[in-house]
A and B are shown apart, each in its own frame.
Chain A
Amino acid sequence: MTELPVKLLSVGFLAGIMGGLLGIGGGIILVPAMISWFAVKQHNAHAISLAVIIPTGIIGGLTYGSHGNIDLTVTLYLIIGSVLGAILGARLATKLPATHLKKIFGIMLLVVGLRMVIG
């Protein structure tokens, strides 16, 4: 593949902007962009996205921290929980049918989103 580095840098830039604004990794932009614009397979796109999230998350987190918006104790406990949760989730994912789960949690997210917009 000979994708233009400029295109890749631009997509990364956009993901970084969104990541900083929302406190997310940016996979939501990276994965679809890689699949549709750079002909990367879903599986590879997911893997590359995770690799990109590591430096982005660290830089973003430190920037938030430099403005006094990081509580390290809470961060540590959440990391412990989420790493265990990720292992658990990966195990469960192979056993549970994701389709219904997605619908149920999609509705839950709509409720949560509305609460954040209105509340």
Chain B
Amino acid sequence: MILMTILTGLLAGALSGLLGIGGGAVLVPMMVLVLGISQHSAQGISLLVIVPTALTGVWHFHKQHLIDYRMAAYLAAGAAIGILISANFVQFIPGVILKKFFGVFVLFIGARMIFSKTQKE
């Protein structure tokens, strides 16, 4: 179980780095479908797991002076209020419905990945 969990994290981390998508989009389905964790727990754990990865990214970008901290502060202030509301609200949504809701999100990400033209630069 320990090995399986670490491997799940490894795969999710590698995939999100490779594909340029957020860790949560890969992590949550893997926790639910591979590790058998409940939808609510998977989403909560996902929020904590993406923090250290984001930290390493921020450190890297900070050194390249790519971060506008004033902008980040305003966005983060809004996001902090938003997540305080929704993370409390979501606890009252049944897991079955939450899972379907997440499924729709995954479908959207998948479709976007298939149909996106070779972007960047």
Residue A57 contacts which of B41, B54, B105 (CB distance < 8 angstroms)?
B54
A88-B13, A107-B114 are known contacts. Are A24 and B53 too (CB-CB below 8 A)? no
A19 near B110: Cβ-Cβ < 8 Å: no
Query: Among A13, A15, A58, which residue has the most Cβ atoms of chain B within 10 A?
Result: A13
A77-B6, A82-B23 are known contacts. Are A56 and B107 too (CB-CB below 8 A)? no
Residues of B in contact (CB 8 Å), total: 97
Task: Specify which chain B residues have a CB less than 8 angstroms from the CB of A58 in the assembled complex.
Answer: 47-48, 51
Chain B proximity of A9: nearest CB distance (Å) = 4
Residue A20 contacts which of B13, B20, B48, B83 (CB distance < 8 angstroms)?
B83
Binary A-proximity of B12-48 (CB < 8 A = 1, otherwise 0): 1111111111111101110111010110111111111
B54 near A25: Cβ-Cβ < 8 Å: yes
Task: Specify which chain B residues have a CB less than 8 angstroms from the CB of A44 in the assembled complex.
Answer: 66-68
Task: Specify which chain B residues have a CB less than 8 angstroms from the CB of A115 in the assembled complex.
Answer: 33, 103
Task: Specify which chain A residues have a CB less than 8 angstroms from the CB of B77 in the assembled complex.
Answer: 9, 12
B76 near A21: Cβ-Cβ < 8 Å: no
A10 at the interface (CB under 8 A from B): yes
A80 near B6: Cβ-Cβ < 8 Å: yes
Task: Specify which chain A residues have a CB less than 8 angstroms from the CB of B15 in the assembled complex.
Answer: 85, 89, 105
A31 to B25, alpha carbons, bound, how many Å?
A: 15
Q: Determine the residue in chain A with the shortest Cβ distance to B113.
A: A106
A1 to B70, alpha carbons, bound, how many Å?
A: 11
A103 to B112, alpha carbons, bound, how many Å?
A: 9
Q: Known contacts A8-B78, A48-B66; can you find 18 more A-B pairs with CB under 8 A?
A: A20-B87, A21-B101, A22-B28, A63-B84, A78-B45, A81-B5, A84-B13, A86-B16, A86-B57, A87-B56, A88-B13, A92-B14, A96-B18, A106-B115, A112-B29, A113-B109, A116-B33, A117-B107
Show the binding face of B for A, using Cβ within 8 Å.
Answer: 2, 5-25, 27-29, 31-33, 35, 37-38, 40-58, 61-62, 64, 66-69, 71-72, 74-91, 99-116, 118, 120
**Can you give 9 contacting A-B residue pairs, CB < 8 Å?**
A20-B83, A23-B42, A53-B51, A59-B80, A64-B40, A70-B48, A86-B56, A102-B116, A118-B103
